[in-house]
A and B are shown apart, each in its own frame.
Chain A
Amino acid sequence: MSQNEKLKAVLLAIAKDDGQKAGALGLLDALSAAAGILATGPTGLLVKGFLSLAKTVSSALKNPTEIDKIDLNTLFVESVDAKLIKNGIDDDKINSILNA
C-alpha cells in the first residue's frame, strides 16, 4: 500500500465513522499520524506537503495559549469559483474553451 493510500485509508475510516466517534480529534490525529507515516516513507511532492502540515501542527501544539486566541472568523475559506471570478473567469468561460 502506498503512503498516499495509507493516508486515504485513515481519512476514509473517519468518514465512515461519520465523525461521531473520531470527529475533529480524529481528523487532526489522522493528519498528524499520516504525516508521521509519510516521514519515513518515500519522498514525493504530496509527501512533502503533508510533512509541512505536520510541522504546523506540532508548532501549534507547543503553544496552546496561542490557539485559544485564534479567531474562528479567520478560518473561513473562499470557494474556487469565487477566486476565479476575481480573475474574470467563470464556468461559461471554461466551458466555451472546452467545447471549442
Chain B
Amino acid sequence: MKNIKLMAWMFIVPALLLMVSACASTNKAKQSAMISQQMYDSASNTVVQQITEIVKAADAGTITGAQKKTLADLSEFKKVLNKYAEAHNAYVTALKIEETSSTKTNDVGKQAGDLAALSSQIIDYCNKLGIKLL
C-alpha cells in the first residue's frame, strides 16, 4: 500500500508542479502583455499629443522650423509604434489561443521576441525625441 502511495506521489507531485509552472508562465505572459500595453500606450499617447499640437500650430500658421523637424521624426517613430501595436496585438492573440487551446505552440514566444526587437527601436526614438515613458 505504501508503495502504491509512493508511486502515486511520484506522478502526482511532478504533475502538480507542471500545472503550477504552466499557470505561472501564463501569468508572466499576461504580465508581459500588461507592461507592453502600458509602455506602448504611454509612448503612443505622447506621440499623438505632440503631433496634434504641431498640426494645430501648422493650421494656425505658427509652425516653426524646429517643430517641422520634430514632426518628421515623430512621423518616422509613428511607423515603428504602429508595427509595435500590430506585434503586441498578435502577442495577445497568441496568448488568447494558448489560453483556450490544449495545443501548445511557439507563437507566444515568437511574438514576445518580435516585441523585444521593436521595444529597442522604441527606446531609440524615445531617447532621440526626449519622450518620457510613463
A interface vs B, CB < 8 Å? 4, 7-8, 11-12, 14-15, 17-28, 30-31, 45-46, 48-50, 52-53, 56-57, 60-61, 64, 67-68, 70, 72-73, 75-81, 83-84, 87, 89, 93-94, 97-98, 100
Contacts and interface: CB of A to CB of B under 8 A. Distances in A.
B43 to A, nearest CB: 9
Contacts of A17: 113
Nearest to B27: A67
A65 B32 CA distance: 16
Given A77-B37, A93-B55, 12 more contacts: A15-B113, A15-B117, A23-B112, A25-B25, A28-B29, A46-B123, A53-B133, A64-B24, A75-B34, A76-B89, A98-B71, A98-B72
Interface residues of B, number: 67
Contacts of B42: 49
Dominant secondary structure of chain B at its interface with chain A: helix
Dominant secondary structure of chain A at its interface with chain B: helix
B48 interface: yes
Nearest 5 A-B pairs (CB), nearest first? A19-B113, A23-B109, A49-B133, A15-B117, A24-B29
